[in-house]
Amino acid sequence: MQTQPFPFLNEQVVERIFASGQLTRDDRQRIQSMLLDESIGENELSLIEKVMEGVVKGVLDVLN
């Protein structure tokens, strides 16, 4: 079993991202890791979509 470098995205993490208005490098790596996981569920995909919409709409700043 392979260990994930970052815990999966959950509602609390998404709330923190939107509260801060910033998508950090760790957040992006977490999302990338989730997208590579074959067992990703609909809830996780929905959370990723919410974050990506925040970036596209300019609600979230992407940090380096």
Mean pLDDT, rounded, for 23-30: 93
HSE-CB at 29 with a 13 A cutoff on CA atoms is 9
| Residues 6+ positions from 64 with CB-CB distance below 8 Å | 25
| Confidence (pTM) | 0.82
Q: What percent of the chain clears pLDDT 70, i.e. is strictly above it? A: 89
The rounded mean pLDDT for the chain is 87
Q: Mind listing the pLDDT tens digit for each residue in 29-49? A: 989 988 888 888 899 899 999
> In this model, does residue 17 exceed pLDDT 50?
yes
